[in-house]
Amino acid sequence: MEAVVAVLESEGVDTVFGIPGAAILPLYAAMRRSSIRHLTVRHEEGGTHAADGWARATGKVGVSIGTSGPAGTNMITGLYTALADSVPIICITGQAPRDKLHQEAFQAVDIVEIAKPVTKWAVQLKEPGQAPWVFREAFRIARSGRPGPVLIDLPIDVQRGMCRFDPALDGPLPVEVPVPRPEPVAAAIRMLLEADRPLILAGGGVIGADACAELRELAEHLQVPVQVTLMGKGAFPEDHPLFAGMAGLQTQTRWGNAAYLESDLVLAVGARFGDRHTGDLDTYRRGRRFIHVDIEPTQIGKVFTPDLGIVGHARPALAALGEAARARVPARRPDAWVERVAELRSTLLRRDDFDDVPIKPPRVYRELNEFFGPDTTFVTAIGLYQIWSGQFQHTFRPRHYLVCGQAGPLGWEIPAAIGVKCAHPERPVVVVVGDYSFQFLMEEVAVAAQYRIPFVIVMVNNEYLGLIRQAELGYDMNYAVDLHYGEGGIDHVKVMEAFGCPARRVEQPGEIAEALSWAALESEAMQLPVLVEVMVEREANAAMGPSLDAITEFEPVPDLVEARPAQ
């Protein structure tokens, strides 16, 4: 285990999240003499989400540790979340001795088989001599190709063993960075130059590859507008003249959908064409050609066959596209298509200036945009509050908007924010959470309180399972979604106070800004998480629909420009 800890340190791990238990104590004993900081979480799922947040914020491999049995099974949701969102983490579990695994020993479960469907690699250490090399390979696999999670299971008798290992002679294994072939790169530039209304679609792979500078250089040279997916939010600054919004069924902008529907070519980089982005594929594909760039070959053609597929790491791929573009044409000036996108951006808007009581949710996000600066990292999860966030929140920098996109586990935000703040203690961190999601892992607030980890929690509380209630409208029912707290339910302010953390409830829109200012100051002064609970209208709905051209707007919106879908 001393060799394992040396590997962790050399791989750039300075913080781990876990819960000690009898079957993992040899690793903890070795870690006690290391430079690694350990935070004791309150639930193993919370530990995986904290490691996930740390990894998303740093671009490095996050680590979570648990003991045997239920510790490992509690990690499965976090492993699935990391796999779905291409986040590199390693989960380490303790295990019963090897000679007891077949005898139904206490807390002896075959966690490797359980974890295989939700990991890139799940492995049990069989011999002490394998320890440094299995861990080196785990880091290589987690970072390689489409990044993702690894689980390593450590029988306690193996942990107690000895191995030969010299840290001075060892180092991380190389990670392949595939470079695209020049022929498809040249073909992609030809297609971009032939198109009248091209778009670049930046997915989470652009952020994961640290390729945002290359993306911007290509877009600016060719004057091609850029859209982002939910996972790609922050890959391109939203105040840039070429920003073209976000298309989708739920997390979308009106003008983003309109711009997409008018496009005739889409260059997608590091995007997987998720169903809540594309919606009805006939509508999504009609009238446009597609170029799909991805590091994972099997991602290309998984949802539909593109006109051109390019395998490559997003950074060298975008760099190669930029180089080919510069060799082909001089820097271009904004054309009618860029002006059209700007027209859509300035006119096809949604209101966020409501003064209604109860508070309308868009007003909350307006206040967040106005109060917090571009260096703030926002963390949010799943539900109506995530959809409103995607529709209204502004993001300007990569790794500053973190969201559990595909898996969408409730409760992700608090532990993920702990990981983010541990990675970047100098940055303001704001958690945007729903009332129900908060309750899933609210015990992790105790972790932030214990280790003095400050961040602001903004709860959008509609006392409903809001997204489910909205979905139930199609079934003409309103069943089992009411979370009315006024009759024996949870008082979130008192919950926070029980953890020793300040909290405030807001019921008037004019009070939101002052409450955010109070929370930001109080959090830093006390080095604690601080809650602002905003009570919004109970039956608020978010704009969404089955296809990009059939989005239902629940609030009145001005139609100030005529949309012209591609034919």
Query: What CATH number does residue 494 fall under?
Result: 3.40.50.970
Which of 261, 276, 256, 321 minimizes the C-alpha distance to 471?
276
Q: Assess whether 374 and 395 both reside in one domain.
A: yes
Tell whether 548 is covered by a domain: no
Tokens of 366: 């307006």
What average pLDDT does range 474-495 have in this prediction? 67
Q: Assess whether 135 and 269 both reside in one domain.
A: no
| pLDDT per residue as tens digits for the range 27-37 | 999 999 999 99
Spatial contact of 391 and 542, defined as CB atoms under 8 Å apart: yes
251-282 as b/e: b if 16+ CB within 10 A: bbbbbbbbbbbbbbbbbbbbbbbbebbbbbee
Query: What CATH number does residue 294 fall under?
Result: 3.40.50.1220
Angle subtended by helix axes 76-84 and 44-58, to nearest 10: 20
Q: Assess whether 156 and 213 both reside in one domain.
A: no
Structural domain of residue 107, as residue ranges? 2-169
Q: Assess whether 160 and 202 both reside in one domain.
A: no
Q: What is the pLDDT of residue 383?
A: 82
Kindly report the backbone phi and psi dihedral angles of residue 73, in degrees, each rounded to the nearest multiple of 5, phi listed first.
Answer: -65, -30
pLDDT at 480 over 60: no
Residues 6 or more apart whose CB falls under 8 angstroms from that of 525 comprise: none
CA distances from 228 to 84, 232, 264, 446 (A): 18, 5, 17, 35
Residues 6 or more apart whose CB falls under 8 angstroms from that of 170 comprise: 6, 7, 10, 132, 136
Order of strands across the sheet that contains 401-403: 401-403, 377-380, 429-434, 455-461, 529-535, 503-506
Per the listing, tokens 């100098």 go with 426
Q: Which one of 320, 347, 374 terminates a domain?
A: 347
Overall number of domains in the chain: 3
- 3-class secondary structure, 69: coil
**388 CB-contact burial (10 Å; exposed 0-12 / middle 13-18 / buried 19+):** buried
Tokens of 309: 């597929």
CA distances from 100 to 103, 107, 382, 517 (A): 5, 11, 41, 57
Tell whether 189 is covered by a domain: yes
Cα first-last separation, the chain: 63
Query: What are 342's strand-pairing partners?
Result: none
Q: What is the pLDDT of residue 405?
A: 84
Q: Which one of 285, 314, 347 terminates a domain?
A: 347
Q: What is the pLDDT of residue 567?
A: 43
Query: What are 434's strand-pairing partners?
Result: 460
pLDDT at 514 over 80: yes
| pLDDT per residue as tens digits for the range 156-167 | 999 999 999 999
Spatial contact of 200 and 226, defined as CB atoms under 8 Å apart: yes
Tell whether 204 is covered by a domain: yes
Query: What are 294's strand-pairing partners?
Result: 311
Tell whether 561 is covered by a domain: no
**555 CB-contact burial (10 Å; exposed 0-12 / middle 13-18 / buried 19+):** middle
Q: Assess whether 297 and 374 both reside in one domain.
A: no
Spatial contact of 558 and 256, defined as CB atoms under 8 Å apart: no
Q: Give the type of residue at 120.
A: K
Q: Assess whether 102 and 209 both reside in one domain.
A: no
Q: What is 373-393 written as a DSSP string?
A: -TTPEEEE-SSHHHHHHHHH-
Q: Identify the DSSP state of 42.
A: S
Please state, in angstroms and rounded to a whole number, the distance separating the CA atoms of residues 375 and 379: 13
Q: Which one of 122, 137, 169 terminates a domain?
A: 169
pLDDT at 474 over 70: no
- 3-class secondary structure, 423: helix
Tell whether 267 is covered by a domain: yes
H-only helix segments in 247-383: 254-262, 275-278, 281-285, 314-328, 336-347, 361-371
| Host H or E run for residue 30 | helix 25-31
CA distances from 67 to 91, 151, 155, 550 (A): 10, 12, 10, 49
- What is the pairing mode between strands 289-294 and 308-311? parallel
Tell whether 558 is covered by a domain: no
What average pLDDT does range 429-452 have in this prediction? 94
Tokens of 546: 């089955």
Q: Assess whether 157 and 237 both reside in one domain.
A: no
| pLDDT per residue as tens digits for the range 112-148 | 999 999 999 999 999 999 999 999 999 999 999 999 9
Spatial contact of 171 and 99, defined as CB atoms under 8 Å apart: no
| Mean pLDDT over the full length of the chain | 92
CA distances from 373 to 142, 323, 364, 392, 418 (A): 32, 34, 15, 15, 20
pLDDT at 471 over 60: no
pLDDT at 479 over 60: no
pLDDT at 447 over 60: yes
Spatial contact of 208 and 147, defined as CB atoms under 8 Å apart: yes
Q: Assess whether 267 and 371 both reside in one domain.
A: no
**473 CB-contact burial (10 Å; exposed 0-12 / middle 13-18 / buried 19+):** exposed
| pLDDT per residue as tens digits for the range 340-398 | 999 999 999 988 888 998 999 999 999 999 999 999 999 998 888 889 899 999 999 99
Confidence of residue 541 (pLDDT cuts 50, 70, 90): confident
Q: What is the pLDDT of residue 464?
A: 62
Tell whether 356 is covered by a domain: no
Kindly report the backbone phi and psi dihedral angles of residue 265, in degrees, each rounded to the nearest multiple of 5, phi listed first.
Answer: -155, 140
The answer for 308, left when phi > 0, alpha when psi is -120 to 50, beta otherwise, is: beta
The answer for 505, left when phi > 0, alpha when psi is -120 to 50, beta otherwise, is: beta
Q: Assess whether 339 and 409 both reside in one domain.
A: no
Tokens of 389: 């966030």
Q: Assess whether 246 and 365 both reside in one domain.
A: no
What average pLDDT does range 283-312 have in this prediction? 96
Angle ∠(137,139,141) on CA atoms, nearest 5: 65
Q: Assess whether 153 and 44 both reside in one domain.
A: yes
Residues 6 or more apart whose CB falls under 8 angstroms from that of 266 comprise: 198, 199, 200, 201, 260, 288, 289, 290, 291
Confidence of residue 256 (pLDDT cuts 50, 70, 90): very high
Enter the pTM of the model: 0.92
Q: Assess whether 138 and 265 both reside in one domain.
A: no
Tell whether 507 is covered by a domain: yes
- 3-class secondary structure, 127: coil
